[in-house]
Amino acid sequence: MDRLNFYSAGQSRHLTLMPWSGLLTAALLMLWGPAALPAQSAFDDGAFEFVETQGTTAGPELKAWYEFEPRMFTHPVQDAAVELRQSLDLSLRWEQGDGELWTRLNLEDREGAQWIEELAARAYLGRLTLSAGRQKIVWGKGDQLHIVDNLNADDYYDFIFPDYLQRRRGEDMLHAALAVGPWSWNAQLEAVWAPGFTPVAFTESGPWAPEYMESLARVQPRLDELGIVIRDRVYDRFRDGQFALRWTQSLSGLDLGLSYYRGKARIPSMVMLPESVDSLGIPHLIELVNNDLQVLGLEWAAVLGPLNLRGEAARFLTDDRDGFNPLIFNPKWSLILGGDVNLPWGLNLNMQYLRDWALQENDIKLALYRQQLWAFVNFLQVDPAIYDLDLQRYWENDLLSTRIGGSYFREKFKPELQYVYRFGTEDLMAALIMDLALSDRLNLIGSYRLFSGDPGEIFGQYDDRDFLSLRLEAVF
């Protein structure tokens, strides 16, 4: 899915891209966004994770987590061979009677950082639990890989290295959870309303800035010269909010869930104003629009012998049901299948498979996209970062994430090997991680990450970003 970033300014902003950059962004976000996120279990090398608890203590409880990580690139990146990251997270929870108040602060010296990640209150009212405020709500049975979890956006300040929950951006929400029927049903109905919508954010500089950021910087002078303005659409605080429902139940060892989400796609669609999908005219205003989106989701988890199985399936519905409108993304299907199993010698194997696909591909729509794309690029007289851009990759993804690791010496030493491979594009990321617990509150984690693939692909764009790191994590 930055902490204190001394490598660069570490700036983040909402997506403001030129059209062909937006197209590349769409391909990137289909892996990084909430609709289809690469298996975080394959990327997470952290030893510490904030865990939500309920009714465990009375009075205030303060926790702090500090991380210090120097990284050394095997190939110097942007004239720098070393990157230093550090962060300090504070978590305060106060329980009193049938209620609690909690907050989580992320103290980072970078532009765009969300310092107050969570600040909310919860009340336990018998069968009904109510919470209000800035929250992070995770839905789905995947192992930190979800397609039915759509309420919070992501901040890719450090690519997808931070833990899934750390990478999510807090959202102001009202959340209600009601236990339904006899207690033996193990059934719950949840409803969430968020008055606002938060887009995905990327860092603009440094080694983990997406490739299109460099392209945007190259053409910005030309855009200014032509008077072409690129902007994000502004959304109404309440009219453009989000709403979601979820039903979960346990039946004879099978955990099931059904969900519905209504909001907006995290992936921006490009609109040229004045709108002209069949003309080569050059616009003076380009607006990035997050299309209206509905998601119907199914999730499940079960134990079958030695296997712990889990999965999610979803139907993403946009207003372009027939796939002809080039200004709106096509509907798509998404599927996650995964599980883990214990192996001899204290090892555990975890595998998750992700597939996204659209059924309403339309040659006319793709031709219109290409017409606009090349007309604009030729008019600017610049070369795009990815000249041979495959527009059909918007909604398509085919990815396998594998992790094998063990725990030894009373869980003091945890080696792990991670491998993520994308079929079709053939780009990948691999990592070797050694986690050593120095004490109950101090961990030392050494790792090596390797990227491979063609420019423009999720991992391929970082083909020269292989690095060694030694991270120190402390919990107070």
pLDDT tens-digit readout, 419-445? 999 998 899 999 999 999 999 999 999
Helix (H) or strand (E) holding 22: helix 19-32
- Confidence at residue 457, expressed as pLDDT on a 0 to 100 scale: 85
The first and second tokens of residue 454, run together, are: 């063609």
Query: What is the pairing mode between strands 242-251 and 187-194?
Result: antiparallel
- Confidence at residue 133, expressed as pLDDT on a 0 to 100 scale: 97
Name, in order, each residue with C-beta under 8 angstroms of 13's C-beta and a sequence gap of 6 or more: 111, 112, 201, 202, 204
- Confidence at residue 293, expressed as pLDDT on a 0 to 100 scale: 94
- Confidence at residue 392, expressed as pLDDT on a 0 to 100 scale: 43
Provide the angle, in degrees to the nearest 10, between the axes of the packed helices 363-380 and 211-226.
Answer: 60
Residues in the chain: 476
Question: Could you read off the pLDDT of 99-153 as tens digits, one per residue?
Answer: 999 999 998 877 778 899 999 999 999 999 999 999 999 999 998 889 999 999 9
- Which among 51, 66, 53 is positioned nearest to 3, based on CA atoms? 66
- Residue 417's DSSP bridge partners are 404, 432
Q: Which domains does the chain have, with CATH numbers?
A: 4-67+91-401 (2.40.160)
Q: Give me the residues of the chain with pLDDT under 70, please.
A: 1-58, 78-79, 272-283, 360-395
